[in-house]
Structure 1
Amino acid sequence: MPVSEPADVTPESAAAPAGPVRTRETASDGHRRALAAHQEVAPPRRVDPAIAEAVERQTAAMRALSAQAFPETEAGSTAPGGRPAAAAAGLPGQNT
């Protein structure tokens, strides 16, 4: 049984809105009023203090480990001549 070739059909593109993209700066006054009204009655976010403290501890630990693993990214860690310490040391992947 012969197979017919598919017809040359150009797929239709999704309808995109014409004109500039709307941002907060270009939003209509009605949108701004509706958003302000919603924000007035929306319940405030509840944050568990224990979770917030755990996030802070984890962030501090990650920054400390990052500073140990990548000391050349710290401020003032340039070799003589203004080059990063890793580049001056001739480490792989660095421009020498």
Structure 2
Amino acid sequence: MSAAPEPEASTVAIELERLRGTVTTGFAEVKGSLAVLVERSTRNEQDLVRLRDDTQKALDALGAEVEALKARRWPLGVVGALTGVAGAATGIAALFIR
């Protein structure tokens, strides 16, 4: 059995330095990706708040329009009752005029 040759100290140091560089590069890439995700998340939250505000304004405007339409509608029950009374009065008047 022969023993494996031990690596030289300089070779180990070089490999450790390469490994350190690779890990540092990987962490920098992860930090960059996280920064992009945080920026997108912040922008999405701002867009959502703006969309909620715009939607609420639109709903308020529609509510005001509905209330205006309700105020201008004809009171059909009252109109029907008046028409009935007018018809009855006309019928009674026709009976007495003959």
Same fold, judged at TM 0.5 (above) = no
Higher helix share: 2
TM-score, normalised to structure 2's length? 0.31
TM-score, normalised to structure 1's length? 0.31
Name which structure has the greater RCO, CA cutoff 8 Å, separation 6+.
Answer: 1
